[in-house]
């Protein structure tokens, strides 16, 4: 499983979604990213990244957030 994290300035990163593969995760982030300027991202409304300024990912959990509490394999059709 691959873990997608949202980040905001001066706040700890938060688990926002999980994916079966890194390829799925990266394709989703590519779709959800509307713009990027000066290191800050703007994401598609309704995506798990809405309201965050950045993102990161990992093949292992980086926080104590519960993976069962976030969307698994979100897709544009889920909006």
CA 70 to chain centre: 10
- The pLDDT value recorded for residue 78 is 60
Q: Which residues of the chain have pLDDT under 50?
A: none
What's the number of domains the chain is made of?
1
**pTM: predicted TM-score of the whole model, two decimal places:** 0.92
Q: Is 77 left (phi over 0), alpha (psi -120 to 50) or beta?
A: alpha
Q: What is the pLDDT of residue 76?
A: 81
Under a CB-based contact definition with an 8 Å cutoff, are residues 57 and 25 in contact? yes
36 lies in which domain range? 2-78
């Amino acid at each position: 499983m691959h873990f997608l994290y949202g980040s905001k300035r001066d706040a700890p990163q938060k688990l926002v979604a999980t994916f079966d593969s890194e390829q799925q995760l990266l394709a989703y982030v590519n779709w959800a990213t509307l713009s990027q300027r000066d290191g800050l991202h703007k994401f598609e409304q309704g995506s798990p990244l809405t309201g965050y300024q950045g993102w990161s990912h990992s093949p292992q959990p980086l926080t104590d957030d519960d993976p069962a509490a976030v969307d698994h394999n979100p897709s544009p059709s889920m909006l």
